[in-house]
Structure 1
Amino acid sequence: MPVERTSGGRRGGRPTMNDVARAARVSLKTVSRVVNGEDNVSPVLVAQVRSAIELLNYSPDIGASNLRRGDRRTETIGLLLEDVGNPFSSALHRAVEDEARTRGVQVLTGSLDDDPRRERELARAFTMRRADGLIIVPVGPDQSYLATELRVDTPVVFVDRPGQGIPADTVLATNVIGATEATRHLIAHGHRRIACLGDHLRISTARHRHDGYLAALREAGVTPDPALTVSGLHTAALAESKVMELFHRPGPPTALFTSQNLVTIGAVRALRRLGLHRSVALVGFDDFPLADLVEPAITVVAQDPAMMGRTAAQALFRRIDGGTGPAAEHWIPTTLIRRGSGELTPAARLLDDRLADSL
């Protein structure tokens, strides 16, 4: 039953259910039945109570109500994302929200900004608000701090990156496979000097995509050149700057594998500034808005953040509903989407160089 904190007799305090009962000239029990949507109240009394609620601008204290529920659920879950402004995070968020809405559950969301301390603060804030469960894109090296929450039956699901220190359901993309496929694609189009640009290698997704890149080079008998690996690129602006540097050095690459969507965006900007966007091949990991509208359109290894979000939410709700058993891993496949930038050959770069030399 929804309950409320009383106004304590203070004039101007929050309206209470007692205030509604007095204004409607009905019993407190009748107000309670109307607020809870029970159907054993006469239409006349329902009209009186609703009129009083509107007049007083009354709203029930849902938080206090949830403490009275037998299952102690609050019908909320917490979603901790790397950056809600990133297209990948936004799509994941929407999928979780859509899944939660079908169950009448609200989603509390926050950005972690690659800050382990922020991760702990947000996780604590959401559990203090009695969230029924958490979905986390972990950024810290250790999530064992969540063990206390798990002991009090607050389930956790990790998505995009595996957690460390506690067993929990995890939803991951096939990062190594996708990166290997991207690099193989560039090799198949004649490239041997392929640069790999990505985020910090301490981040599991960046590390696994770099592993896939190296696996494809080894498979083709190509010796990796450390000068062609650039990591720690966390923004589009930094990626743009580093790509510009690459092409001002001797022996520049003929192709780029960019292992994160912001890195891809920065690389596209740099290639266009350099006039190399039609001659240097590019395959990016993760799709992004307008990637198919630039010229040439960007070939990508696309994740499925919507499927990842749905799978994570479904796994969490199974645990909330009492599901038991060992922690499970759910793998969501990636897809290579050929659009043009990844199909350029080294010959295109050589032709551009010869034209430049003749001018």
Structure 2
Amino acid sequence: MPGPPEPHSGRPQRDARSGQPTLRDVAERAGVSAMTASRVLRDDPQVLPATRERVRAAATALGYRPNEVARSLRLGRGSGLVGLVVTNLANPFYSRLALGVDSVVAEHGLKTVIGNTGQDLDAERELVSDLVARRVDGIIAVPAGADQRHLAAAAADGVPVVLASRPPEGFAADCVLVDDFGGARDATARLLGRGHRRIGFLGSPPAVYTGTERVRGYAAALTSAGISLDPRLVRQGQTEPDEATRAASALLALPDPPTALFCSNNRNTIGAFRAIRALRASGGPPVALAGFDDFELADALGLALTLVAYDSDELGRAAGRLLADRLHDRRRGVTGETGPRPPRHVVVPTSLVEYGT
């Protein structure tokens, strides 16, 4: 009976597409069949120890790495990846959100892949389509707008989808929200309680759910104080500090300027601070400032500042837990009495913090 083939000693034949050694190269070098090599690399306990050592040594010597995407396709599983879709990576809020997501999904053996849409709906559609094509296990998204048909399509294809900072539109999905309305109302009420009656508003584009909810909370606080909202004091659409500085400067240059500003996110608050600092340096009147989102160095600005604070890491952790639960249910085939479990909505609470007072 002929013995096993001699170990392969020539140069490996690289995969034409990836340039990497193939499973067949490992098998030839170890002197086994490709099926046996595959069984070893899948930790099949039925393979003899000596054969396992030989195959693993061959894989190490060749620098072989299994094609996890192809393997997942064969096994009917995902890629071990979770897609996180955000709108503005320049905003530190999203780095905290990502850390929260990753801390949870990593406990389940998953890795996070982050994609930035720049608040562009077409870019978001393309990114979601690409993630689905790459067979991610799930998607956590901060949608750029109300048109979420691409996310609904991903969910319909069997990819669990969790939304963060914005509720689902037109389809059922788990989501994690911040108390945007309540936080904005409370911060504006704090300014009103200090005697301010003309309070300007700086916020995100109207299509952004959080900005819409926060301007609604601002308006509700004014109404409760018997003050009509003055549209001339509202500036929406700023996504970066430079834009917010220009918008705040325009408000402060009005014939009857506001005595306080409320900003709907940290980028607008930073821009407004610069405008207020410039006004103060030129001998202008003091202007009070309040904003949504706490941020680093807020206590070092040398200005009285009221901020709406919440745990952005927890926002990410909550989204990660919702997704992990959906993946667990899918693996076990868990459903409710009449079908899949109903979607869950988690609301992260807010509080007010004061700096420089």
TM superposition score category, shorter chain reference: 0.7 to 0.9
Which residue, out of 290, 298, 319, partners 1:291? 298
Q: How does 1:317-356 map to 2 (within 5 A)?
A: 317-321=324-328, 322=330, 323=334, 324-340=340-356
Q: How far does residue 54 in structure 1 lie from its aligned partner after superposition? A: 2.5
1:164-189 per-position Cα deviation (integer Å, ceiling 9, x unaligned): 11111111101010000000111111
Q: Mean Cα displacement is larger for which, 88-97 or 294-303?
A: 294-303
Determine the structure 1 residue equivalent to 2:311: 304
| 1:297 shift after superposition | 5.9
Q: How many residues align?
A: 335
Amino acid paired to 2:58:
A
> Structure 1: where are the runs of 5+ without partners?
1-5, 344-359
2:230, 2:115 → 1: CA distance? 39
Give the one of 4, 20, 23 matched to 2:26: 20
Query: Contact 1:108–1:126 at 8 Å: present in 2 too?
Result: no
Contact persistence 1:119–1:140 (CA under 8 A): no
Question: Do residues 51 (structure 1) and 57 (structure 2) align?
Answer: yes
- Name the SS for the 1:292 alignment partner: helix
How far 1:287 moved relative to its partner? 1.4
Contact 1:142–1:163 (8 Å) recurs in 2: no
Tell me the distance in 2 between the aligned counterparts of 1:199 and 1:208: 11
Question: Cα distance, 1:300 vs. partner?
Answer: 0.8
Q: How far did 1:45 drift?
A: 4.4
Tell me the distance in 1 between the aligned counterparts of 2:206 and 2:58.
60
Decide which moves more: 244-253 or 26-35: 26-35
2:37 matched residue in structure 1: 31
Aligned to 2:129: 124
2:70 is aligned with 1:64: yes
Determine if the alignment matches structure 1 residue 204 to structure 2 residue 220.
Answer: no
Distance 1:250 1:173 in 2: 36
With over 3 angstroms needed to count, the CA separation of the structure-2 counterparts of 1:13 and 1:79, relative to structure 1, is closer
- Does the 8 A contact of 1:147 with 1:166 survive in 2? yes
| Cα displacement (A) at 1:241 | 1.0
Task: State the Cα distance separating 1:147 from its structure 2 match.
Answer: 3.4
Aligned to 1:184: 189
Secondary structure of residue in 1 paired with 2:267: helix
Contact preservation (8 Å) 1:87, 1:289: no
1:254-288 deviations in Å (ceiling 9; x for gaps) = 11101111001101111112226993211110112
1:173 pairs with 2:175: no
Given that 1:76 and 1:132 are in contact with CA atoms closer than 8 Å, whether structure 2 keeps it comes out as yes
**Contact 1:157 1:312 (8 Å CA) reproduced:** yes
How do residues 70-81 of structure 1 correspond to structure 2 at under 5 angstroms?
Answer: 70=76, 72-81=77-86
Aligned residue number for residue 353 of structure 1: none
Shift of 1:126: 0.3
**Higher deviation after alignment, 145-154 or 187-196:** 145-154
Paired AA for residue 259 in structure 2: T
Partner Cα distance (1:113, 1:296) in 2: 31
Structure 2: stretches of 5+ with no match in the other structure:
1-11, 335-339
1:303 to partner: Cα distance: 2.8
Relative to the length of structure 2, the TM-score reads 0.86
Mapping 1:139-150, distance limit 5 Å: 139-150=144-155
Q: Distance in 1 between matches of 2:219 and 2:105?
A: 39
